[in-house]
Amino acid sequence: MTVSAAYGVAHVPAGLDVKDAGALGLAGTAAHDSLTALDVAEGETVLVSGATGGVGSLAVQLAAARGARMIATARPGAEADFVPA
């Protein structure tokens, strides 16, 4: 099947198989595109405000996989428990 690139085709990040990439959806694409636009590299520090949401939680994982140091914010309570210290 052929699909126009203008129809929402997304890049599969290096090292990720197609099944896992398919689970990322819109939130994963937004997180990946944001980190790519910032050119986050190993050893850099990244602040993710709202790290418990869909985009934020994926951005934390993707940035950590790039070797970045993470600073994440979350609301007190159950959301804060989601973000390890």
Number of domains in the chain: 1
Domain of 67, in residue numbers: 27-82
Contact 46, 69 (CB under 8 A): yes
Q: Is residue 59 in a domain?
A: yes
- Worst-scoring range by mean pLDDT, 5-9, 27-31, 41-45, 57-61? 5-9
- Is residue 52 situated within a structural domain? yes
4 lies in some domain: no
Here the CATH number for the domain that contains residue 37 is 3.40.50.720
pTM: 0.74
* CA distance linking residue 85 with residue 83, whole number of Å: 7
Query: What SS3 state is found at 31?
Result: helix
Give domain status of residue 21, yes or no. no
pLDDT greater than 90 at residue 82: no
